Amino acid sequence: MVDEATLRAVISEVLSGLNRAAPPAAAAPAAAPAVRTAPAVVAPRADGRLGVFSDMNAACEAAQGAFVRLQKHGLEGRAKVIEIIKGLCTAKAAEWGPLEFAETKIGRLDHKIEKLQIVKLVPGLEWLRPYALSGDHGITLEEYTPFGVIGAITPVTHSVPTLAGNVVSMVAAGNAVVFNPHPGGARCAAVAVRAFNEAIQAALGIEHLVCTVIEPSLQTFDQMCRSEAVRLLCVTGGPGVVQAAMKSGKRAICAGPGNPPVVVDGTGSLAKAAVDIIKGASYDNNLLCIGEKQVFVLEAYAERFMNELAAAGAAKLTPGQLDRLTGAAFTTARDAGGCSHPVLNRKLVGADAAVLAEQAGTRVGPDVPLLFAETDAEHPFVMEEQMMPMLPIVRVKTFDDAVAGAVRSEHGYRHSAILHSLNVDHMTQMARAVDTTLFIKNGASVAGLGLGGEGYLNYSIATTTGEGIATPRTFTRTRRCVMVDNLRIY
């Protein structure tokens, strides 16, 4: 466990590091980006206690034992675990958010904290109502039952929130879970895992319901996939890990990559569209997989729309500044066929707008949430899932062109798309063309996760394999129980 004094030191170091990184308002362009100084995060010891292991096979076995014990506690036991996870995420958000920020060094501290505070919105047991049939031949009940142990992969973009959301859904469904977290967020994940198990053990006497390894690697991923105890995989991440999981031979629920396009057709309020787009695209410095990544705007409204973006606080880059930033944000590589393609510079993923501005050869204040620049439709900032608070704006002649650009830049991930329009025909046309899991109209992308729109939250959106936003039902097997010619009461 990290003791309180260490935690306080980490938080104060991170906060002072943030203050140091803030550039003066009207200084000259700087050559190098501001570097975030953050202390190393102290992880719990991988001593095989309370869910934190060095050996993946031992973690999987321990989770199997915990699954058997959870069954004995029934639905009441699951409800208690959910209460514990949600309660800890709320209570510890101000401690764990800075830990995750210090370890991953990406995104925004206030949003790291908020993403933990809202874990309470992830659905629980209420999603597991059985389906019943009653007829001349008796009664049939279909129940949503657990798999056993689930092997889960989490992204560096939201390590503890994804882990916590997964635990709520998976345990609500009666499962135990083993994590192979992203190596860049494995320490804060272990801190949370230990705290969860400590509280679960105190309440139910189960020590290893949530397991993790302290040094995740491709080898531990492989061991997890091969473990006989692991009955199902749940992957939240980019294309590489989705492909690896789908080749593993185990069933995998895959919450894969996105590159959400936005279309602005000018029929609605441009000022509102600008505010909504800034809200979604700047959230945690655009690390969200659902976050607005590129905008297609009809040319008749493009100028006014960009003025509204600036009026709402975003900063526009000149073509020269965009070129400089593009040179820093992407390198070029050749694939096996000799074709060159852009490769994202991971060091700028989730960086502050002020840091990106420095790379572009300019300065913006620390309160500027988002940069934007006009680009063509083939620009790397449009076509790559760049996860930076820098929004490319593409002018198009017609709505058809806008939809075509949206579809092309989304790459068939079928993840998320956003439209600002009052034209119902346009809504229908774009919905059919993009065919995405989430399609948000007239709101920020986060409205698609119940944050400003109707609905519920989770951090795993099973786009690739089609289950949608994860719920407890996602992690169940449907089993049918039949009584022939009996039990019917009329």
| Of residues 168-197, those binding ligand NAD (CB under 6 A) | 181-183
What string marks each residue from 461 to 480 as x (binds ligand NAD by CB under 6 A) or -?
Answer: x-x-----------------
> Tokens representing 449?
């996760």
Return d(Cα 127, Cα 67) in angstroms, integer.
20
Contact between 113 and ligand NAD (CB under 6 A)?
no
Work out which of 460, 465, 474, 476 binds ligand NAD, going by CB under 6 A. 460
The answer to whether 221 contacts ligand NAD (rule: CB under 6 A) is yes
Burial letters for 372-391: b for 16+ Cβ neighbours within 10 Å, e otherwise? bbbbebebbbbbbbbbbbbb
Cα–Cα distance measured from residue 108 to residue 344, given in angstroms and rounded to the nearest whole number:
20
Q: Which stretch binds ligand NAD (CB under 6 A): 238-246, 262-270, 359-367, 420-428?
A: 238-246
Residue with tokens 């895992």: 193
Contact residue for ligand NAD among 169, 197, 236, 465 (CB under 6 A): 236
Residue nearer to ligand NAD on the CB measure, 181 or 280: 181
| Nearest distance from C-beta of residue 469 to ligand NAD, angstroms | 8
Does position 238 interact with ligand NAD (CB under 6 A)? The reply is yes
Q: By CB under 6 A, is residue 244 in contact with ligand NAD?
A: yes
What phi and psi, each to the nearest 5 degrees, are found at residue 24?
-65, 150
Residues near ligand NAD (CB under 6 A), total: 26
Quick check: 255 binds ligand NAD (CB under 6 A)? yes
* Residue 18 contacts ligand NAD per CB under 6 A: no
Burial of 184 (0-12, 13-18, 19+ CB in 10 A): middle
Q: Is 455 a binder of ligand NAD (CB under 6 A)?
A: no
Q: What contacts 251, CB < 8 A, 6 or more positions away?
A: 232, 233
- 237 touches ligand NAD (CB under 6 A): yes
Residue 240 engages ligand NAD in binding (rule: CB under 6 A)? yes
**Position 234 contacts ligand NAD (CB under 6 A):** no
Q: Which is nearer to ligand NAD, 156 or 440 (CB)?
A: 156
DSSP conformational letter for 312: T
Residues 132-161 that bind ligand NAD (CB under 6 A): 153-157
Secondary structure class of 90 (helix, strand, coil): helix
Smallest gap from Cβ 241 to ligand NAD, in A, equals 3
Residues in CB range of 307: below 8 A, 6 or more apart: none
Give dist(CA 307, CA 309) in Å, integer: 5
> How far apart, in whole angstroms, are the C-alpha atoms of residue 333 and residue 338?
9
Q: Coil, strand or helix: which one is 333?
A: strand
CA distance 407 to 414: 9
**Residues 258-317 contacting ligand NAD, CB under 6 A:** 258, 289
Element (H, E) at 61: helix 56-104
H helices present in 411-459, as ranges: 424-434
> Residue 154 carries which side chain, given as an amino acid letter?
T
Single out the residue of 116, 214, 241, 390 in contact with ligand NAD (rule: CB under 6 A): 241
The window from 12-20, 168-176, 256-264, 398-406 that contacts ligand NAD (CB under 6 A) reads 256-264
Question: Which residues are bridge partners to 25 per DSSP?
Answer: none
The answer to the question of residue 38 lying near ligand NAD (CB under 6 A) is: no
**Considering beta carbons, is residue 255 or 440 the nearer one to ligand NAD?**
255
Mask for 354-393, x = binds ligand NAD (CB under 6 A)? -------------------------------x--------
Residue with nearest beta carbon to ligand NAD: 237
Could you say whether residue 452 binds ligand NAD (CB under 6 A)?
no
In one letter, which amino acid is 410? E
Closest CA to 348 of 328, 367, 371, 320: 328
Nearer to ligand NAD, 233 or 309 (CB): 233
Strands (E), 26-173: 52-53, 131-135, 138-146, 149-154
**218 near ligand NAD (CB under 6 A):** yes
Q: Judged by CB under 6 A, does residue 101 bind ligand NAD? A: no
Q: What share of the chain is helix, strand, coil (3-state, %, to 5)?
A: 45, 20, 35
Binding-site ranges for ligand NAD (CB under 6 A): 153-157, 181-183, 218, 221, 236-238, 240-241, 244, 255-258, 289, 385, 459-461, 463
